[in-house]
Amino acid sequence: MKIADAKVIVCSPGRNFVTLKLVTEDGLYGLGDATLNGRELAVASYLNDHVLPTLIGADARRIEDTWQLLYQGAYWRRGPVTMAAIAAVDTALWDIKAKSLHVPLYQLLGGASREHVLVYGHASGDGIEDAVKAVADYLALGYRAIRVQCAVPGLPGTYGVGGGKLFYEPAARHAPPVNIWSSERYLEFVPRLFARLRQEFGPDPHLLHDVHHRLTPIEAARLGKSLEPYHLFWLEDPTPAEVQARFRLIRQHTTTPLAVGEVFNTIYDCHQLLEERLVDYIRATVVHAGGISHLRKIAALAELHQVRTGCHGATDLSPVCMAAALHFDLSVHNFGIQEYMRHSSDTDRVFPHQYRFEAGALHPGNAPGLGVDIDETLAAQFPYQRAYLPVNRLQDGTVHSW
């Protein structure tokens, strides 16, 4: 089963997506997401200029061998561009293999470990009472787990405040938007937000919060401690994780569960966090962590240390990635939760998919392969638009993590 054709499809149905399509000599095809928000064309070039010419004529059944060849064979290791490109090839090959065997992908990954996949949605507000209303709206839709972000009083443009829609798009055309940040104001505000949410909704809904890498370890420890009475499902990315040992300090001070890893590319980014059990959920997902093959290795290491998965699932991860993540989530034993930020209707039309939301959970469906397709004619009507993620500055102008 040789790979006969390979193409990269770049489109922008509401936002940019990079999709790899591999076609075999038998006419089967598989899809892989290669989207890297704000740096999309770098991955498209990596695939077009360097990877795809080496894949034509290769055996589509040799998934692990292809992964190792692309990883070790490049000599230059890791990094988001390389790993998104490898992920796309890996995902497309798993799609082809499952289609060739006429089974949904999760059957090849060990079969279903559960009936469906618990997901969380994104509620937000310009003030605490707006956020309370947004959470009520999500509960009415059937969600059982909700991430809550809220504009910090006195700060323009707080991360994650989405204007009342079911999806939130931080990337903007032409130039990076500039947000202004104050950790002092944020640390004073967030415990008040969650106190109000628990007062309104009681102990049952799972509540999550994303710090988006903005605090120092001791500030993160303070936040985790002050949120303990409101028992969050998780506190996400409390501090940047390039130095994994930073999490020791947070861990010494708080029992609030921690989630980290949406920007991780390989197991080497998180092995210490897992081995020392410095986090409770690992957020790496298919497109940014080397595909299904590599993500399974991360999950296996996490399982050894009782860390559960919580795959990234924001709007910039295409329905191809979402479908792949759902097959993975359904199969691994140590699944925790899946982020599910909905896509625009244009995106859903370009990527028809089988996965369905019901009662706060998703199921990938039982179509052979991933259960997701791309309408190339429609995709061509939405050409690429250059877009940038925001940058963040402190009130005195200093650049800060966004």
Please identify every residue annotated as catalytic: 159, 212
Which partner from the list Mg ion, ligand KDG, none does 291 bind, CB cut-off 5 to 8 Å by kind? none
d(CA 32, CA 94): 9
Determine if 35 is a binding residue for ligand KDG (CB under 6 A): no
Which partner from the list Mg ion, ligand KDG, none does 316 bind, CB cut-off 5 to 8 Å by kind? ligand KDG
For the purposes of burial, counting CB atoms within 10 Å of the CB of 179, is it exposed (0-12), middle (13-18) or buried (19 or more)?
middle
Closest CA to 232 of 149, 151, 342: 149
Instruction: Give the single-character DSSP code of 50.
Output: I
Determine if 339 is a binding residue for ligand KDG (CB under 6 A): yes
Tokens, residue 257: 């569960």
Residues β-bridged to residue 9:
19
Residues 294-313 that bind ligand KDG (CB under 6 A): 312
Residues 182-221 that bind ligand KDG (CB under 6 A): 210, 212
Q: How big, in percent rounded to 5, are the helix, strand and coil portions of the chain?
A: 40, 20, 40
For the purposes of burial, counting CB atoms within 10 Å of the CB of 132, is it exposed (0-12), middle (13-18) or buried (19 or more)?
buried
Q: Which is nearer to ligand KDG, 1 or 389 (CB)?
A: 389
Which partner from the list Mg ion, ligand KDG, none does 37 bind, CB cut-off 5 to 8 Å by kind? ligand KDG
Shortest distance (Å) from residue 54 CB to Mg ion: 34
Tokens, residue 399: 């650049």
Shortest distance (Å) from residue 157 CB to Mg ion: 16
CA–CA distances in Å: residue 214 to residues 69, 98, 233, 317, 329:
37, 41, 19, 22, 28
Q: Which is nearer to ligand KDG, 312 or 327 (CB)?
A: 312
d(CA 249, CA 219): 10
Q: Which is nearer to ligand KDG, 314 or 370 (CB)?
A: 314
Determine if 329 is a binding residue for ligand KDG (CB under 6 A): no
Determine if 262 is a binding residue for ligand KDG (CB under 6 A): yes
The answer to whether 20 and 92 have CB atoms below 8 angstroms apart is: yes
Closest CA to 83 of 48, 52, 30, 46: 46
| Helix (H) / strand (E) containing 186 | helix 183-201
Determine if 95 is a binding residue for ligand KDG (CB under 6 A): no
Q: Which is nearer to ligand KDG, 99 or 312 (CB)?
A: 312
Shortest distance (Å) from residue 229 CB to ligand KDG: 24
The answer to whether 50 and 83 have CB atoms below 8 angstroms apart is: no
Q: Which is nearer to ligand KDG, 69 or 389 (CB)?
A: 389
Shortest distance (Å) from residue 210 CB to ligand KDG: 5
Shortest distance (Å) from residue 212 CB to Mg ion: 6
Determine if 280 is a binding residue for Mg ion (CB under 5 A): no
d(CA 311, CA 323): 12
Q: Which of 33, 40, 95, 210 binds Mg ion (CB under 5 A)?
A: 210
Residues 342-371 that bind ligand KDG (CB under 6 A): none
Which partner from the list ligand KDG, Mg ion, none does 314 bind, CB cut-off 5 to 8 Å by kind? ligand KDG
d(CA 135, CA 112): 30
Tokens, residue 123: 């509620």
Shortest distance (Å) from residue 389 CB to ligand KDG: 6
List residues binding ligand KDG (CB under 6 A). Answer: 37, 170, 210, 212, 262, 312, 314, 316, 339, 389
List residues binding Mg ion (CB under 5 A). Answer: 210, 262
